[in-house]
Amino acid sequence: MLKSSLFSGLLAKKITKENPDFGKVINYRKILTRSAYLKKHPTVQTEDGIACCDCGELDIKEWGLLKRDDIKRVHSCNFCGQLLFRTIDRMPANDDDELAELQ
């Protein structure tokens, strides 16, 4: 067991050095999900949206993890910079389905 955990630790470090995006994905998984954030801070849910747990600001910015249009999103306070939560935006499987719903 010790050898396997040691090997996996060394393997993870090697992969991180070879692929810098791997570290971003590992850190992304450490950020609370939106539902976990709302459970941990029940007072941040307002009629106007979700507020920052530190300063109470409603101005929340989001960005893609690896690129601008990435489905893995990180949300932070635009006022104090606190990382708040993460989400995954599911994209429609087919553009034709989306067009059919609009008509």
Express each pLDDT in 80-95 by its tens digit: 999 999 999 876 555 5
| Residues 58, 14 within the same domain | no
Q: Which pTM value belongs to this model?
A: 0.69
End-to-end CA distance of the chain: 58
In terms of residue numbers, what domain contains 7? 1-30
Whether the per-residue pLDDT at 15 is higher than 70: the answer is no
How many structural domains is the chain composed of? Answer: 2
| Residues 37, 68 within the same domain | yes
| Residues 40, 51 within the same domain | yes
| Residues 18, 52 within the same domain | no
Distance in angstroms (rounded) separating the CA atoms of residues 18 and 63: 24
pLDDT at position 35 is 94
- Range of lowest pLDDT (11-15, 30-34, 38-42): 11-15
Whether the per-residue pLDDT at 75 is higher than 60: the answer is yes
| Residues 51, 79 within the same domain | yes
Closest Cα to residue 91, out of 65, 75, 68, 72? Answer: 72
| Residues 5, 47 within the same domain | no
| Residues 74, 45 within the same domain | yes
| Residues 53, 22 within the same domain | no
